[in-house]
Amino acid sequence: MTTIGWVRHGITDWNVEKKAQGQTDIPLNDTGRAQARALAERFRHETWDAVYTSDLSRARETAETIAKALGIPLYVDERLREKGCGKIEGTTEDDRIRMWGEDWREMELGIETEESMISRGTELVRQVCERHPGQRVLLVSHGALISTMLPALVANMETREHLHNTSVTLIRKLDELWVCDLYNCRRHLDAVNL
């Protein structure tokens, strides 16, 4: 039975400003780095065998903090990147309405489809399970990718709330089915007043 811990990266200035980051490489801010350290401290009390991360620096730095603290291997894989947001990257909701109107979501703005994210994410998860049978593996990624992948993997799962920065969601494979044991947990942040 393979267990996967999906982790959203620490916070960035664009998260605070509510700008669509997409695949623009925005780094963690100081709060995001503190969140990553708090998460690594949480994981010291758990058993993890490896960590995979998006190549975007906000996820990679989060994952590097964890891997270093735990002394586990780190693998970088661009399939864990955030949803490509095309022309809306770097914009807020107000910017998008001003530029394209209220119906901007229905326009062709070069935004990656859910099918594309599910295809690359599913292939990565399959390979992780093959490489790490019976192990516990962290996947450090991004809000839209994780929110899209969870219902694609776990039957009858709805992502009930916005995924918080450095939140942890645990899924495990039983036979051919995935089940969710923990969703959007951020208890590690309580101790650091973030």
To the question of whether residue 26 is assigned a binding role by annotation, the answer is no
14 is in an annotated binding site: yes
Q: In 3D, which of 72, 65, 18, 17 has the Cα closest to residue 47? A: 72
Residue closest to 48 by CA, chosen among 82, 74, 28:
74
- Per-position DSSP letters for 94-162, written without gaps between them: HHHHHHH-TTGGGS---PPPHHHHHHHHHHHHHHHHHHSTT-EEEEEE-HHHHHHHHHHHBTT----SP
CATH superfamily of 3-192: Phosphoglycerate mutase-like (3.40.50.1240)
Instruction: Please report, as a single letter, which amino acid is at residue 69.
Output: A
The kind and range of the H/E element at 156 are none
Using one digit for the tens of pLDDT, what is the confidence trace for 109-121?
999 999 999 999 9
Active site residue 82: yes
Burial 10-45 (b: 16+ CB within 10 A, else e): bbbebbeeebbbbbbebebbebbbbbbbbbbebbee
Is residue 192 over pLDDT 80? no
Sheet strand arrangement including 3-8: 74-76, 50-53, 136-141, 3-8, 168-174, 177-185
pLDDT at 166: 97
15 marked as part of a ligand binding site: yes
Is 146 annotated as a binding-site member?
no
- Model pLDDT for residues 84-134, shown as the tens digit of each residue: 999 999 999 999 999 999 999 999 999 999 999 999 999 999 999 999 999
Cβ neighbours around 191 below 10 Å, total: 10
Active-site residue, selected from the candidate residues 61, 82, 89, 112: 82
pLDDT of residue 7: 98
* 108 assigned to active site: no
* 9 among annotated binding-site residues: yes
What is the C-alpha to C-alpha distance for residues 144 and 82, in angstroms, rounded to an integer? 6
Distance from C-alpha of 65 to C-alpha of 148, rounded to nearest angstrom: 25
Q: How many residues does the chain have?
A: 194
* pLDDT > 90 fraction of the chain, expressed in percent and rounded: 91
| Rounded average pLDDT over 70-82 | 98
Q: Name the 3-class secondary structure at 163.
A: coil
Q: Please, which residues have CB within 8 angstroms of residue 193's CB and are 6 or more apart in sequence?
A: none
Residue 59 has pLDDT above 70, yes or no: yes
